[in-house]
Amino acid sequence: MSTPWHALESGETLTRLDASAAGLDSAEAARRLAERGPNSLPTPRSDRWWWRLLRQFHNVLLYVMMGAAIVTSFLEHWIDTAVLLGAVVVNALIGFIQEGRAESALDSIRSMLAPHTRVRRDGRIVDIGAVDLVPGDVVRLVSGDRVPADLRLIRARDLRIDEAALTGESLPVEKSTLPVDEDSELGDRRSSCYAGTVAVFGQGDGVVVATGTDTELGRINALLTGIDTTTTPLLRQIAGFGRWLAAVILVAAAATYAFGVVVRGETPAEMFTMAVALAASAIPEGLPAVMTVTLSLGVQRMAQRHAVVRRLPAVETLGSVTVICSDKTGTLTRNEMTVQKVVGASRTIDVGGVGYAPVGTLTTGDGTTVTRESSAALDLAIRTGVLCNDSKVFEADGSWEIDGDPTEAALLVLGRKAGLSADAATAAWPRLDVVPFESEHRFMATLHRHDDGRRERILLKGAPESVLSACTHQLDDRNDQHPVDIAYWDRRAREVAAQGLRLLALAYRDREPATGTLEFEDAHQGFTILALVGIIDPPREDAVVAVRECHRAGIEVKMITGDHADTAAEIGAQMGLGVGRAPVTGAQIEALDDTALRHVVTETDVFARASPEHKLRLVRALQDNGEVVAMTGDGVNDAPALTRADVGVAMGEGGTEAAKESADMVLADDNFASIAAAVREGRGVYDNIKKFVLFMLPTNGGEALVVIAAIVFQLTLPMTPAQVLWINLATVSTLGLALAFEPTEKTVMQRAPRPPGQSLMTPFFVWRVAMVSVLMMTGSLGLFLWELESGTSVEVARTVAVNAIVVAEMFYLFNSRRIYNSVLDREGMLGSPYVLGAVAVCALLQLLFTYAPFMQAVFGSAALTLADWGKVLGAGLLVFVVAESEKWVVRRVRRSRMRERSSASALS
């Protein structure tokens, strides 16, 4: 056995892997990938198709139908037996197909969430899919990354890893590059990082030693959380309702049977048919399948709008969100940073140009061009910006692009505008060490070899408060040092921030003796401030529109940012947030107790200099006020707030893996507008489910009422059990499904959010279902009796009754496209190809049912005359007209109630 990786020196590790600290080249990586296979763990084996199909039969209703089929076969009612069994099979098939569709919708989304990693290839750091990692690759880890494979560290800078996923240890472990004892336990191997664990602080580079199933994670065969495909509260509510209904119906059917046989003395065979007809009519078979499809279509629609749902219940919760807390940088703003001002100790310089193209000049207020060389302080400031920097700008296909943090890229562009490239700056002062930027301490420091060879120079950049507190001096344009004038810098910082510019301060310190390493404490004192830099980051136009849309939809938007209070206030004002109110800062939040904070969150829309712990407290305070909160986040420390929020939203582009994994939804484009779009779709999905339930239940209700009336009044059954099953199957699979494809109504964002936890079965719902059930029963039973009265055969009368129900459903499908609003317009009647197509298919099925000889043989149906069809259409039209009139009345009542409420609130 050779020495394990964690016990080897890092140099030896590289040699053994035939790799170098500069990484592999693409050709070698491709060769190794072909040889070793992808860096992935086997996905949990999805169930075999036949098993998924079999599972569909595990359903109370299907048990009832199968039981009934057995009894009818004993009674030698062969046709009923065949139809019952046929219905069982068709039902199971529908469930199977729908489940497959939902699965594949979620699968395609899962691939959108595949983890990425930064790796050195061909001498550059590039972003690749984690599956493409091979042994020998050099991976760059920063806080928030999930470790993509097993790594032996070759560089570590305050790198702390949360290994709970592997060892169960909840405290993060500090890593280093020194080899550890060969026999160390996993949790003690500080020189290595393991796939599946999370970097929570610092930075490091590690060479990949094992991928895929060779990793420790692969060995213990653990699987990381993927998309959660559990059901949602609403689906559970409906499933529970379905089971409850099935039980009630079974009892009712049994009671009917007993009553008929014992009290009325009917024959058991006759009563059994009645009981089966009742059960078949009342149980809403298609409910769960169509709902799953509606949800997964919603998830797909959201993905098209760049909002990738990780947990299904979020689709519903989105519809009842009352507050969205959003980061500023990159979400509300474009994250295309350009330095506009450099404020020195004695003058301010304006910088021309926009975007990342290094075109623009440096001028003073009176328009005179300034060169970098004109002042040592300016030169040093620009150098600091370029060197204390981990990003890159480069030209690709004629446009300028960046790699890394846009704030830093803006400083590189400033350097180029002033004639200083990153390469030239680094060649003069090579970097020895770094303290990376973390949003808690808001600064970054780098250590460089001074050109005099004896000393070292520390460069510091960060939020003005963090940097100024470390400064004792300032440097003026004549290269003279003075004691730092804090009041001057504070005043200038506020001036620049009030223009909505993002602020950075730049400072330096020389030191001897040279140690070559930089500690966190080294960045705290003895610095000389060089300049403040003002960076513009304009609001995203679509986000401004989306904020307005949210306000209209009764949703409050709160901006929570790490930026300066004045910058936040100005950008907020440009977006219509917190106008006329001073932002509340992180420091102020800390001074408030929970009760006071609950009050403050209702009044304030902009929070500045806030860190992740503040976000967590804000979510809690909002939730204590009864709000349903969506919260965005990107960093590893945002995870608790994301988990706590009702809908945690992570950034797909700029967010860390840790944030994504705690989130319910990931924004592919980091754009606030996509959250608003997701809320809109969330409301739409909920609407569609409501519409489907409102459509389906009256069908069952109407049929059940027809059968009950027949039993109570001792009539001939107006529909045989086989006919009832036919209606249910023919309509759910055509008409019902069409509602899953309903586009979101234009007015969804003009309503107030749905109260969370509201039951689907509101009194209005019950009323609507009851009303339409009675209408359907009236049409169907009325026509049946009329037919019998006029002396036609039972077969014809039954065919009329069946068609009356189905045609009424076709009409009612149009009503159901809008719950409250009228459908009497072009869009309402002709707007959905799915509805029109479904009606056409359903009509064809009914013609088959009525005229095809084999259908007549199976279902006992008979051909109808034109006059019969006229009556049937009349019954359908009746439902349509009454349902539209009811909506009209409901709309008027709601409007007058709203008026009363608003005049009452105006009076109080």
The residue ranges that bind ligand ATP (CB under 6 A) are 327-329, 405, 407-408, 437, 439, 442-444, 461-463, 502-504, 561-564
- CA dihedral of residues 703, 705, 710, 713 (deg, nearest 10): -170
Q: At closest approach, how far in Å is the CB of 444 from ligand ATP?
A: 4
Tokens 């809320």 appear where? 679
How far, CA to CA in Å, does 849 sit from each of 34, 556, 706, 811, 856? 59, 54, 20, 19, 7
Bridge-based pairing of strands 150-162 and 173-174 is: antiparallel
Q: What token pair was written down for 888?
A: 């009209």
Burial of 153 (0-12, 13-18, 19+ CB in 10 A): buried
Q: At closest approach, how far in Å is the CB of 634 from ligand ATP?
A: 7
Q: At closest approach, how far in Å is the CB of 113 from ligand ATP?
A: 21
Contacts of 339 (CB under 8 A, 6+ apart): 351, 385, 410, 411, 413, 414, 533, 534, 535
Beta bridge partners of residue 444, listed in sequence order: 461
Burial of 16 (0-12, 13-18, 19+ CB in 10 A): middle
Q: At closest approach, how far in Å is the CB of 205 from ligand ATP?
A: 19
> Which CB sits closer to ligand ATP, 7 or 550?
550
Q: At closest approach, how far in Å is the CB of 475 from ligand ATP?
A: 19
User: What whole-number distance in Å separates Cα of residue 732 and Cα of residue 717?
Assistant: 23
User: What whole-number distance in Å separates Cα of residue 137 and Cα of residue 149?
Assistant: 10
Asked if the peptide bond before residue 833 counts as cis, ω within 30 degrees of 0, the response is no
Q: At closest approach, how far in Å is the CB of 561 from ligand ATP?
A: 3
**204-235 in b/e burial notation, b at 16+ Cβ within 10 A?**
bbbbbbbbbebbbbbeeeeeeeebeeebbebb
Q: What is the DSSP letter of 176?
A: -
Residue nearest to ligand ATP (CB): 562
User: What whole-number distance in Å separates Cα of residue 262 and Cα of residue 635?
Assistant: 72
Q: At closest approach, how far in Å is the CB of 342 from ligand ATP?
A: 15
> Which CB sits closer to ligand ATP, 109 or 463?
463
Closest CA to 514 of 460, 447, 428: 447
State residue 607 phi and psi, 5-degree precision. Answer: -120, 130
User: Could you give the maximum distance between any two Cα atoms of the chain, in Å?
Assistant: 115
Q: What token pair was written down for 129?
A: 């899919």
Active-site residue flag, 537: no
Q: At closest approach, how far in Å is the CB of 654 from ligand ATP?
A: 8
| Contact (Cβ atoms closer than 8 angstroms) between residue 206 and residue 138 | yes
Tokens 């590790």 appear where? 13
Q: At closest approach, how far in Å is the CB of 879 from ligand ATP?
A: 54
Q: What token pair was written down for 850?
A: 């009525």
User: What whole-number distance in Å separates Cα of residue 132 and Cα of residue 706?
Assistant: 63
Cα 799 from chain centre? 49
Which region, left, alpha or beta, applies to residue 190 given φ > 0 means left and ψ of -120 to 50 means alpha? alpha
Q: At closest approach, how far in Å is the CB of 466 from ligand ATP?
A: 8
> Which CB sits closer to ligand ATP, 612 or 876?
612
Q: At closest approach, how far in Å is the CB of 408 from ligand ATP?
A: 5
> Which CB sits closer to ligand ATP, 533 or 797?
533
> Which CB sits closer to ligand ATP, 655 or 701?
655
- CA dihedral of residues 186, 190, 194, 199 (deg, nearest 10): 130
DSSP H/E element including 119: strand 116-121
Contacts of 359 (CB under 8 A, 6+ apart): 353, 417
Catalytic residue among 327, 566, 634, 646: 327
> Which CB sits closer to ligand ATP, 348 or 792?
348
> Which CB sits closer to ligand ATP, 311 or 461?
461
672-712 helix and 541-552 helix, angle to the nearest 10 degrees: 40
Alpha helix (H) residue ranges in 625-671: 639-644, 657-662
Q: At closest approach, how far in Å is the CB of 702 from ligand ATP?
A: 55
> Which CB sits closer to ligand ATP, 392 or 751?
392
Q: At closest approach, how far in Å is the CB of 898 from ligand ATP?
A: 37
SS3 29: helix
541-552 helix and 565-575 helix, angle to the nearest 10 degrees: 70
Contacts of 658 (CB under 8 A, 6+ apart): 144, 145, 146, 198, 200, 635, 636, 639
> Which CB sits closer to ligand ATP, 407 or 734?
407
- CA dihedral of residues 96, 102, 105, 106 (deg, nearest 10): -120
State residue 258 phi and psi, 5-degree precision. Answer: -60, -45
> Which CB sits closer to ligand ATP, 327 or 627?
327
Known catalytic residues? 327
